[in-house]
Amino acid sequence: MEREKPVKLYAENDGYYIYIYDKANEKIVEPLVTRDWDNDPFHTASPEQKEEIRENGLIVSFEMQQDDDIHARIYCGPPLTEEEIKKIKIDCYGQRYINLPTGKICMGEWPMRAGKAKVPPGEYTLTLYHKRKGGITVTLTPFAELPIEKSYPFLDYGGLTWVD
């Protein structure tokens, strides 16, 4: 599977938790948004809500080291190769399941300020690549081609794979 040209997404940001979700799930995200950085971003959700989010791929959240604005490139296709990771100087990466039923992907700290982009609708394995010096790269690989365990949707720094 070839990778398509990236879709670019920008969002203002002044927090540490970033949410990625389909526009159709915005009402689910809103009550979960927190400024309590001592807890994970889903600490206000009930156990049932957490299970629904995980099982249905409604939201993925990740932690940033600082509150820089979001400059993201989103690719549809396979994850980056080791050579590509080294070339663009990725520091760490992680994967989660996400469902984008409308293909209107949103990324940001607050739903009203989230950056938005259009991708093909579908269920994906989202691979998030982060550079401490700024910049986020995301690959969306069809879940059927790269199935992973539907794990807790929060990618904290301790759960990421670090690149030497």
Give the torsion through C-alpha atoms of 149, 41, 23, 116, to 10 deg.
-100
In a domain, 24, yes or no: yes
In a domain, 1, yes or no: no
How many domains does the chain contain in total? Answer: 1
pLDDT at 160: 73
In a domain, 63, yes or no: yes
The amino acid sitting at 147 is P
DSSP letter (8 states) at residue 145: T
CA angle 135, 151, 139 (to 5 degrees): 30
The enclosing domain of 71 has a CATH number of: 2.60.34.30
pLDDT at 144: 95
122 has a pLDDT exceeding 70: yes
pLDDT at 125: 96
146 has a pLDDT exceeding 80: yes
Residues 6+ apart with CB under 8 A from 83: none
- The boundaries of the domain holding residue 23 are 7-162
pLDDT digits (tens, 9 = 90+) for 85-118: 888 888 888 899 999 999 999 998 777 788 999 9
* Tokens at 2, concatenated: 């070839």
In a domain, 2, yes or no: no
In a domain, 107, yes or no: yes
In a domain, 116, yes or no: yes
CA angle 73, 18, 113 (to 5 degrees): 85
